[in-house]
Amino acid sequence: MAHLVAWLSLCASLVLANSNCTRLFNSAVINNQTLYIDGGDMHTLFPNGTIPKSAIRDLQSVDLSRSWQNSDDDLFTYIRKPHDNSDTDDNPPWLNEGASWSNEQDLFFYGGYLSEKAGISVPPLATWRYDIAAKNWTRRGFWGTPLVRLCQGGAVQSSVDQMAYYLGGSLNPAGNPTFINTPGADVYMDPGLIALNMNTLEWTKASTADMNTWGTIGDGYVGLIDSVGKRGLLVAFGGYTYPVGQKLSFLAAQQTNESNQNSMETVRVYDIDKERWYDQQTSGDVPHWRMAGCAVVAPAPDLYVFGGMAAKTKDSDGNVYVLSVPSFRWIKVYDDHVLRYKHKCVLAQKHTMMAVGGIIPVDDMEYYPQSRNCDSSTFANGIGIFDLRKLSWMSNYNANDHGEYTIPSKIVDVIGGSETGGATLSKPQHGFNSSDLENLFKHRSVRPTTSVVANPTGSPASTHQPAAGTGHTLSSGTIAGAVVGVVAGVALLAGLAMAWVIVRRRRKEQEAAQQDGPPWAKGAPDTWVFAPRPPEELDAVPVYELSHDRQESWCGAASRVEMPTEANRTPELPASRDR
C-alpha cells in the first residue's frame, strides 16, 4: 500500500510539474467580449526537459468581459467538440493552420490540415459553424462550398458586410482526403480570393491573377479597411509566392530568392467592390521581408504589423511596425529583439492587439522549441497584450478600459495631425501609382457595423449617422404618385439587375477557367465544383460543454506537407490591375 501511495504521489508531482511551453498553428477570433482559439498543437515541457507535442482537440475561450493576467491558471475555458457521433463525419475536426471568423451569433471554421498527433483520419471537406447560444456544431447549410481545404492564407473579415475573406494559401494532402494517399501529392500554392457570406452561408471566389506574377501568397500579411470603397479594401504584403504548379515540399522559412517573396515595399491593394487589384509603393521605415507574422487594423486606419520570420532566423526581429494609409508610410513604433512567428493577432477594445500562440524560433530549428524559449512573462500562456496607444507590451488585460484608439505621437510626428486624426500627410511620398486608387481614398465612408467586437485583421467602423433633413414635406397626392412610380421602377430595375448579374457571373467564370492548375490536375475539369444551395438548413449536432481531457502539445515542420488543388478547380473571377 505504501508503494502505491508513493507511486501515485510521484505521478501527481510529475503532472503538476508539467507546463505549457508553446502553442503553434492555431486560429483566433473575437466575438462579443470572448476570445476564441481553435486548433493547433501544444508543446508541453516535462520535468525531464523533453517537450512532446499533442493536438489540441477542443475550442478554447478567454473571457474579455473581466480583467486578468496572461499568466493566470484559470485563463482558458474549454468548449468540447463532439467526437462520438454515430456518423464520424458529424464530428467537428481539430486542425492546424485553419481560419476562424465570427458574426454576432456564430463562429465559422475553414481550412487547415491534420496534425500528425491528431490520431484520426483526414476529415471530409467542410466548413463548420458553431452556434454560440445554442452550443451547436454543424457543417450543413453552406453552399457554393469550395471542395478544397486551404491553409496559410490570409483570413480577414468585415463586420459591416458580414463577409469573411481568405486570400491565397496552399493545399495540404493532410487536409484533403482525396489526395492524402495520392502518389506525388505535395505542397502546392492555390491562387484566388474566396469569400464567405456569413448570413447566407454562400462561398464565392474572385481572381488574384493580377495581384502579383503568379497570383499566389502564403503566410502573408493581410488587412481589411472597411471605410474605403463601397465594400472596403484589402491590403496585402509579405509572405511567400510560387507558381501554382511548383512543388513546395518545404516551407519558405529559408528562402532567399526575392522572386519568391511578396514585397513589403510595394503592397497590393484590392477594391472588393470593383474586384480590382492595385500596386502601391510605400516609404519610410520599410520592414525587410518577412512571413508568418500578424497584422491588425486600427481605426485611423493604421495597420499594425508584429513579428514574423525572415529568410533566415538571424535576420528576423520582434519589432512592431505601422503602415499608415493613405500616406502608405511605414513607421517603426516598437523595437525588440524577441522574435515570434506563426502567431495570430486580434484587435480587442479598439486599442489592444492580442498576439495568440506562436513560437520563438531558435537558429534554424524554427518549429522545435527549447525549454529556454518556452512562453513566459510577456507571452505567458501564449497570449501577448500590446497597447496600441502606449505602444507597449503588458501582462494584464483591463476589461474596464473602454477608451477609444488614439494615434500615438510616434505616428503623429510623421504624418501630422493629432492623436484624434487630421493627418496632414494624405498621399504617398512619390504619389499614388493609380489615380483610381487615389480617388478611392478621397471618398472615405463611415458604414454601420454589428456589435461584434474586433476582427482578426479588419478595421472597426463607427455607426453611420444619416444626414439632417431639409425641412421640406410632400403632400399626400405627391407621395402616392411617387410610390407608384418608384414601385414600377424598382421592379424594372430589379429584373435588369438580375439579368446583368447572371450574365456577368457566367462571363467571369468562363474567363477565370483559363487559369492554369498544377500539373497533377491536368485532364480534370478546369473549374471548382460548388455545392448547390440547400433547400433548408438541417439540425445541428449538439456540443458537449467543457472538456477535461486536455490534449496539448506542439507540431514539427517536417510533417507539414502542403499540396495541390482538389480534382476540380474553382472558377476565378478576373480582375483588372493598375500598377
Per-residue pLDDT tens digits for 149-175: 999 999 999 989 999 999 999 999 999
- The answer to the question of residue 177 being in a domain is yes
- 4/58: higher pLDDT: 58
The C-alpha cell at 16 is 503538476
**Helix ranges restricted to H, 254-407:** none
> Which is it for the CA torsion 102, 107, 108, 109, positive or negative?
positive
Element (H, E) at 320: strand 320-324
- The answer to the question of residue 141 being in a domain is yes
Residue 238: closest CA among 160, 307, 158: 307
At 312, is the pLDDT very low, low, confident or very high (cuts 50, 70, 90)? confident
How many domains would you assign to the chain? Answer: 1
Q: What is the CATH number of the domain that holds 184?
A: 2.120.10.80
| β-pair partners for 189 | 170
Report pLDDT for 350.
93
Report pLDDT for 17.
67
| CA distances to 9, 309, 316, 368, 472 from 364, in Å | 39, 11, 11, 9, 72
Q: Quick one: average pLDDT of 300-314?
A: 93
- The answer to the question of residue 10 being in a domain is no
Residue with cell 537558429: 363
486 contact partners, CB below 8 Å, separation of at least 6: none
Amino acid type, 280 = Q
**Is residue 173 within 8 Å of residue 150, measured between CB atoms?**
no
- Backbone torsions φ then ψ of 359, nearest 5 degrees: -145, 150
Q: Is 460 helix (H, G, I), strand (E, B) or coil?
A: coil
The C-alpha cell at 551 is 490534449
Per-residue pLDDT tens digits for 348-363: 999 999 999 999 988 7
**Is residue 201 within 8 Å of residue 436, measured between CB atoms?**
no
- 454/394: higher pLDDT: 394
Q: Quick one: average pLDDT of 248-256?
A: 64
- The answer to the question of residue 231 being in a domain is yes
- The answer to the question of residue 16 being in a domain is no
When mean pLDDT is compared across 99-113, 392-406, 510-524, 539-553, the lowest value belongs to 539-553
- Backbone torsions φ then ψ of 260, nearest 5 degrees: -105, 15
Report pLDDT for 203.
97
- The answer to the question of residue 492 being in a domain is no
Residue with cell 496552399: 170
Mean pLDDT of the chain: 80
Residue 55 has pLDDT above 80, yes or no: yes
Q: Quick one: average pLDDT of 511-524?
A: 38
Residue with cell 502505491: 4
Per-residue pLDDT tens digits for 180-232: 888 888 889 999 999 999 999 999 999 999 999 999 999 999 999 999 999 99
Q: Is 492 helix (H, G, I), strand (E, B) or coil?
A: helix
At 479, is the pLDDT very low, low, confident or very high (cuts 50, 70, 90)? very low
392 contact partners, CB below 8 Å, separation of at least 6: 334, 386
Q: Is 379 helix (H, G, I), strand (E, B) or coil?
A: helix
> Could you tell me the residue range of the domain that residue 290 belongs to?
26-464+526-578
